[in-house]
């Protein structure tokens, strides 16, 4: 796995938006981002890879797109599936060949999940993550139930069906739910 130089993708995106660019290129980059909106996370399919905050950069060189991704967890088996899904989606949208590369630093954090992504998670029944930065104990013990909003909830296990989630249950509505752990 290659690690590129540390680049703040958001700064890049702002620079891209400000710089005068050839109209055709601008359109195709926008199209590429729109295609990425349709690529789901295989583990949490309500989220697109953009919602998840793993797309660092989209570039085009001589008609060939490059998508730079930051993997979530070191061992996440979805990483390879996502790369293939990106290639398939670009192909289906007739945007031509695409290179998918990875950038490990800075490490992905759940703080990069978009507000839209957080809303979708809640609607899907997964409590969205709290802020990752500055957390001493990694998850507050009282997570709001995504079904009934009660904070009378308890952790069943720190690890759920995937590494990124913990298992909880709501004492008020008696339903189990998953919590996306801050990372």
Partner 1 sequence: MTSIRLQMTAPLHYVLRIADTCLIHAQRLAEWCGHGPVIEEDIALTNMALDLLGQARALLTRAALIEGEGLDEDRLAFLRDEDQFFNLTLVEQPLRKPSAHAAGGDFADTVLRNFLLATWLKALWQRLATSSDAELAAIAGKAVKEARYHQQHAADWVVRLGDGTPESAQRMRAALARAWPYTNEMFVRDSVDAEAEAAGLGPARDALHDVWRAEVAEVLAAATLALPAETPFIATGTIGRHSEHLGFVLAEMQVLQRTHPGGRW
Residue 168 · residue 156 · CB < 8 Å: yes
Report CA 33 to chain centroid distance, whole Å. Answer: 14
Sort 31 into a burial class: Cβ within 10 Å, 0-12 / 13-18 / 19+. Answer: middle
The DSSP code for 112 is: G
Tokens of 171: 């004492």
Q: How far is CA 146 from CA 26, 83, 120, 126, 143, in A?
A: 39, 30, 11, 6, 9
- In angstroms, give the least distance from the CB of 104 to partner 1: 4
Binding footprint of partner 1 on the chain (CB under 8 A): 1, 3, 71, 73-77, 104-109, 137-138, 156-163, 167, 181, 183
- In angstroms, give the least distance from the CB of 80 to partner 1: 11
Closest to partner 1 by CB, 32 vs 143, is: 143
Closest to partner 1 by CB, 120 vs 181, is: 181
Sheet containing 153-157: give its strands across: 126-127, 176-180, 165-170, 153-157
Closest to partner 1 by CB, 18 vs 136, is: 136
Tokens of 96: 């031509």
Alpha helices per DSSP H over 19-60:
23-36
The DSSP code for 124 is: H
- In angstroms, give the least distance from the CB of 37 to partner 1: 25
- In angstroms, give the least distance from the CB of 163 to partner 1: 4
Q: Using the structure block, give the residue that is written with the tokens 């905050």.
A: 53
- In angstroms, give the least distance from the CB of 69 to partner 1: 13
- In angstroms, give the least distance from the CB of 160 to partner 1: 7
Closest to partner 1 by CB, 84 vs 116, is: 84
Closest to partner 1 by CB, 1 vs 17, is: 1
Closest to partner 1 by CB, 69 vs 76, is: 76
């Amino acid at each position: 796995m290659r690690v590129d130089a540390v680049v703040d993708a958001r700064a890049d995106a702002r620079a891209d938006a400000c710089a005068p660019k050839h109209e055709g290129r601008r359109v195709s980059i926008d199209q590429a981002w729109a295609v990425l909106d349709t690529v789901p996370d295989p583990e949490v399919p309500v989220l697109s890879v953009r919602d998840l905050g793993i797309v660092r950069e989209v570039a085009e060189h001589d008609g060939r797109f490059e998508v730079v991704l930051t993997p979530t967890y070191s061992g996440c088996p979805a990483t390879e599936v996502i790369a293939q899904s990106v290639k398939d989606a670009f192909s289906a949208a007739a945007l031509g060949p695409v290179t998918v590369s990875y950038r490990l630093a800075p490490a992905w954090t759940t703080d990069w999940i978009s507000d839209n992504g957080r809303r979708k998670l809640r609607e899907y029944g997964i409590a969205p993550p709290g802020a990752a930065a500055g957390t001493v104990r990694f998850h507050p013990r009282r997570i709001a139930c995504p079904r009934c909003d009660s904070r009378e909830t308890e952790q069943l296990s720190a690890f759920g069906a995937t590494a990124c989630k913990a298992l909880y249950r709501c004492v008020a509505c008696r339903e189990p739910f998953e919590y996306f752990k801050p990372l």
